[in-house]
């Protein structure tokens, strides 16, 4: 019996709440489900969904330490979004002055992918369906 059904959400702690909120909602197009300020923690918690599925908890905490995210540090490696067309997606990145890596081909699946970063330099992958 498999107790685990699916990934429920990914939690991200950001350094600049307003910049990250704008990035994830306005740029990536995630929908705000709930936004709460937790006074006892001096922290925001933003619940975000993608196509009706709850996917990300975005947190802000005062004076959080920087986390090494590259190269290949232990911990969360990256967040990946599936796209229908990688060229269309990268045109959107270019239009918004987002720097991304050259498109590569996954040697095992033969699918196209690329990486860019969120405001805290968390690597984000776009992977063609």
- The CATH number given to whatever domain includes residue 93 is 3.10.180.10
Please give the Cα distance from 126 to 94 (Å, whole number): 14
For residue 6, the model assigns a pLDDT of 80
pLDDT in tens, 108-121: 999 999 999 999 98
* Residue 123 resides in a domain: yes
Task: Check whether 72 has a pLDDT greater than 80.
Answer: no
Domain count along the chain:
2
Q: Does a structural domain hold residue 72? A: no
Q: What is the pTM (predicted TM-score) of this model?
A: 0.85
How far, in Å, CA of 61 to CA of 57, rounded? 13
Compare 73 and 26 and report the one with higher pLDDT.
26
Q: How confident is the model at residue 8 (pLDDT cuts 50, 70, 90)?
A: confident
Are 95 and 120 contained in the same domain?
yes
Same domain, 59 and 93: no
CB 115 within 8 A of CB 100: yes
Q: 81-92 pLDDT, tens per residue? A: 999 999 999 999
Range of the domain at 104: 77-129
- Looking at residue 64, the DSSP 8-state letter turns out to be P
The confidence score (pLDDT) of residue 3 equals: 65
Buried b (16+ CB within 10 A) or exposed e, 22-34: ebbbeeeebeeee
Handedness of CA 67, 82, 108, 91 (dihedral sign): negative
């Amino acid at each position: 019996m498999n107790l685990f059904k699916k990934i429920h959400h990914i939690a991200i702690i950001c350094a600049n709440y307003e910049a990250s909120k704008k990035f994830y909602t306005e740029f990536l197009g995630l929908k705000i489900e709930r936004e709460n300020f937790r006074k006892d923690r001096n922290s925001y918690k933003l619940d975000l969904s993608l196509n009706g599925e709850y996917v990300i908890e975005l947190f802000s905490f005062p004076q959080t330490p920087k986390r090494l995210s590259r190269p290949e540090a232990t911990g969360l490696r990256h967040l990946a979004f599936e796209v229908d067309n990688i060229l269309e997606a990268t045109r959107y990145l270019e239009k918004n002055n987002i720097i991304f890596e050259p498109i590569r081909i996954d040697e095992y699946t033969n699918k196209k992918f690329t990486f860019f970063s969120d405001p805290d330099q968390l690597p984000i992958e776009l992977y063609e369906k």
